[in-house]
Chains A and B, each alone.
Chain A
């Protein structure tokens, strides 16, 4: 029986269930708009999805160009664009490699049955993210009530790889700095002076004047006389710079944000969402939309997505019509909100999909090299039980604790640029390794998901084929798993990962012209494009806040009261709150509570 919709006309159709789109859909629903929310994938979250292991493998297979090139014509527009966005995708099951000997097979690898059975115990994020404890996304989560759907935990530790198989814990508070045993008193004083400066209103301070674009590293060393080690730790593990060239002012502003976030929920500026983070949070926003009457259709390809052209005025059925596979009705909407993944070329407005920069994968684009690995031993430990964050737990000489150190569940290890002696010019980037365990509900007990990420400033057509994400990132994974473990005195070789995947992700430049109704040149006043994340500098810590900011920007454009014509102008003259106040706070004592 074909599925009929009870309604075919919607105020807004939102295409894509990535975090920003999902936040926007929820806001529109809460503002009383009738929302249709679509995603061609069978899962929620788009490029920020949290996937079971089986789904990760399917995701990778869909984005590997090796599989029948002849069938590429059958690919949907979305998938064709996904294949340009995600390139050099490879995965393997190193732990099981001896058992599946299939030399020269170009067919997709089969998930080992042991992992197949446990597939759903994994929530692997396509967009691993640290969520600052203050800022747009946290505000949005709380104001919308979505925070109640999801679980969060604190990032338990940040460490910097200092070379030669040693990682050092980065102090996460002033107390930590005082307790640090390795730093000299003079260094501590300089560091404290800088931290005081960085948490204040430094924009007008003489130290910053004229230094806005100076690389942060030289600013720290020259202006605050900080040592090279301390400067590296600040730049890459506190300000989350990715390149030694990252400019001072934006880095200081990020850092102030993070420093001020610390203490809100505990001794870390960052939270990690359960079940892979952003993908799960997106589902929470989608539930808000659904509860408010929004309609969800996932896993259907578009047969058509087009703008209704009538000679004058708004078409009777709405400005857009959408046909989906398996859905007999043509759906109509007044406003279209989408990411560029879905937009037909004729709607892209000057940013035609066939433009030279889009024709070949990742040409002249900023890239992320990403790696995901599942391992079955912890990387970082608290020195003693109960965990105190003051010791250098990786130093094997600390023999005073007789108890086995406790493994940390969610940690970040930062590899400053060049720390493995990699001097390739394209690769002057820090590499981050975010490690999440069972406590973040990302994998079965005793296992950990390691997310590696490096930014590649720009890749030209010539250099692109030489970029191999696996050869770029594998040395970091190997270094990580080979770090000394306090629980095993034997010097046995580290066991290979159960699963590993590497790929390149093209970061689209934000649309040159944002399609907003105010721009008179915009021929499509009711198309709103969710811009890709421009935060090239620190994707790990900035992406989640960007999603909330971008959703609010588009929301305000859509709800703009003066926007005449087909816009969903608010009845009243004043703009709506992005998140209207929650109806009722949790009472706690009543028998019945509704939210």
Chain B
């Protein structure tokens, strides 16, 4: 209870939102995040090896959210995603690849999994990525932009290869019609965008729309902001208030060594 004061203190101006990424391998999950995170801050920043999660602020007119974005780190491949991954997630981006019909089916099963495992109030967005591959891009843009590369960070699933445009006309690559995905998203109550991590199309929008839909008041009043790092971010009934931050309080102990 020593931490009760700074835990409940309102010094934290922005709200922490844990956002999890889901989707089949090679649909560009990491790329979408790298676009979102680096675009606003440092365009050419190299992806970090072994980033456990990335954080990025998102400013709306009346509020600032701080996204804590969790990548699957490949643990989804053999259905080995830990329950911890979903815990306290207030938002999810489920990514599929517009050039691979099967990836939408996989996305649908991830949505089901989220509805089963995650917080019932989670805001889910569906992102049809790699839309640059199916839209005729301005010539100037394509001349220097390589095909969309999965950033080479350690969370990228090994061996993922990006789809290449090949020599066909762009539209012929599309396997998921936009209205089909839109219809599914509407029916399932998801936000929906087609995105391109390569050109940036739709990426910021998807995070902004999620931010608008997040019930911030609810988060502030009824759940913890982020997986325990801030202690009890808010009361969850009478029980909250006894949480501790392991990293913080240790400094006080003069003699932590007991060997």
Contact = CB atoms under 8 A, between A and B. Distances in A.
A255 to B, nearest CB: 11
A477 B104 CA distance: 50
Contacts of B3: 265-266
Given A283-B82, A595-B52, A6 B159 contact: yes
A244 interface: no
B78 A296 contact: yes
B52 A288 contact: yes
Contacts of B211: none
A426 interface: no
Interface residues of B, number: 61
Nearest to B85: A287
A3 interface: yes
B13 interface: no
Contact of B250 (A50, A142, A256): A142
B242 A275 contact: no
B73 A152 contact: no
B246 A147 contact: yes
B209 interface: no
Interface stretch (A66-74, A133-141, A189-197, A478-486): A133-141
Interface string B13-51: 000000000000000000000000110111001001011
A263 B251 CA distance: 11
6 contacts: A265-B3, A291-B52, A298-B80, A409-B242, A438-B237, A593-B55
A290 interface: yes
B136 interface: no
Contacts of B48: 594
Nearest to B48: A594
B55 A264 contact: no
A131 B186 CA distance: 46
B53 interface: yes
User: Which 5 pairs across A and B sit closest by C-beta, in order of nearness?
Assistant: A151-B228, A439-B239, A6-B159, A290-B73, A283-B82
Given A266-B244, A275-B87, A592-B42, A286 B54 contact: no
Given A7-B158, A264-B250, A288-B52, A149 B242 contact: no
Interface in B61-83: 71, 73-75, 77-80, 82-83
B227 A149 contact: yes
A410 B242 CA distance: 9
Nearest to B68: A593
B182 interface: no
A150 interface: yes
Contacts of B159: 6-7
Contact of A134 (B227, B236, B252, B253): B253
A151 B84 contact: no
Given A287-B52, A298-B78, A445 B237 contact: yes
A407 B238 contact: yes
B247 interface: yes
Given A142-B247, A284-B84, A267 B1 contact: yes
A153 B244 CA distance: 5
A133 B50 CA distance: 28
A233 interface: no
A552 interface: no
B62 to A, nearest CB: 19
A437 B84 contact: no
A335 B155 CA distance: 24
Given A150-B228, A296-B74, A266 B2 contact: yes
A80 interface: no
A40 interface: no
Contact of B78 (A134, A265, A297): A297
A41 to B, nearest CB: 11
Please indicate which of the listed interface residues B228, B242, B247, B250 has the most CB atoms of chain A within 10 Å of its own CB.
B242
B78 A300 contact: yes
Given A445-B239, A583-B50, 7 more contacts: A141-B246, A142-B247, A152-B228, A266-B2, A275-B83, A287-B85, A288-B52
A141 B244 CA distance: 13
B149 interface: no
Nearest to B253: A264
B84 A265 contact: no
Contacts of A274: 228
Nearest to B25: A6
A595 B53 contact: yes
A152 B246 contact: yes
Contacts of B2: 265-267
B246 A265 contact: yes
A592 B54 contact: yes
Interface string A530-546: 00000000000000000
Interface of A: 3, 6-7, 42-44, 50, 52, 120, 134-135, 138, 141-142, 145, 147-154, 156, 256-257, 260-261, 263-267, 271, 274-275, 280, 283-284, 286-288, 290-293, 295-300, 387, 406-407, 409-410, 437-439, 445, 583, 591-595
B102 to A, nearest CB: 9
A261 B40 CA distance: 44
A260 B258 contact: yes
A266 B154 CA distance: 37
Nearest to B82: A283
Contacts of A410: 242
Nearest to A263: B253
Contacts of B37: 592
Nearest to A260: B258
B227 A150 contact: yes
A109 B237 CA distance: 33
Contacts of B140: none
Nearest to A409: B239
Nearest to A3: B78
Contacts of B42: 592
A292 B50 CA distance: 5
A99 to B, nearest CB: 26
A287 B76 CA distance: 11
A447 to B, nearest CB: 11
A592 B55 contact: yes
A265 B241 CA distance: 13
A387 B57 CA distance: 38
B64 to A, nearest CB: 11
Contacts of B1: 154, 266-267, 387
A439 B240 contact: yes
B56 interface: yes
Nearest to A286: B82
B145 interface: no
Interface string B243-259: 11011011011011110
Contact of A256 (B51, B157, B258): B258
A154 B242 contact: yes
A290 B253 contact: no
